Amino acid sequence: MSRYLTRMTAINEEEQYLKMLDDRGVTSVRQYRTLEKEVYEDDVYESIETVNHVWKYGDMYWRLANTFYGDSTYWWVIASFNKRPTESHNKIGDTLKIPINLADALQVVE
């Protein structure tokens, strides 16, 4: 399930981008709107059962998602739950919390 399926989109045909669009051979660019996300209190996150994972050399979110959820496309759930959007936000030895129940995690990260 793509997290972009429910996002509002806009078509950017602004005059200031005409040269760039022409250079790329397109007439418009589809842009996804930024989600307005409800911010939950820490106790909501703490109520979700997790396992700890110590970040090590070679770790990638997609690999962790594949290991824990059987589906690498849920990498963003782990990133969002830990409030670390990319792998570069982790250092070797950092502890991540991996939500055990994907459905519970999706309640707070979508």
| pTM higher than the cut 0.85 | no
| pLDDT by residue, tens only, the chain of 110 residues | 566 666 677 777 777 778 888 888 887 777 776 655 555 677 777 888 999 999 999 999 999 999 999 999 999 999 989 989 899 999 999 999 999 999 888 888 86
First-to-final CA distance of the chain: 12
Q: All domains of the chain, ordered by start, with CATH?
A: 1-36 (no CATH), 42-109 (3.10.350)
